């Protein structure tokens, strides 16, 4: 049960961090001038957020196994 809670927390935190990083990266490096906010939101929701969630799940699972 504790492993599952660690994993769920890892997914949530990983998604939030990944989405935030994606938004920052798009706002800094994108040359799109017309709809940068839409590009940032879509990148965060569909690319960097899920990637962060997977990474957060892996890290949380590995940490939960050690305890």
Torsional sign, CA 53, 54, 59, 63: positive
Coil, strand or helix at 1: coil
Output the pTM of the full model.
0.92
- What is the per-residue pLDDT for 54? 98
3-59 tens-digit pLDDT:
999 999 999 999 999 999 999 999 999 999 899 999 999 999 999 999 999 999 999
Which structural domain range is residue 62 located in?
2-66
* Residue 20 · residue 47 · CB < 8 Å: no
Instruction: Give the total number of structural domains in the chain.
Output: 1
């Amino acid at each position: 049960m504790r492993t599952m809670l660690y994993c769920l927390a890892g997914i949530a935190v990983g998604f939030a961090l990944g989405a935030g990083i994606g938004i920052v990266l798009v706002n800094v490096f994108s040359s799109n001038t017309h709809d940068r906010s839409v590009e940032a939101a879509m990148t965060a929701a569909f690319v960097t957020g899920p990637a962060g969630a997977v990474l957060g799940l892996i890290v949380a699972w590995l940490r939960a196994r050690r305890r």
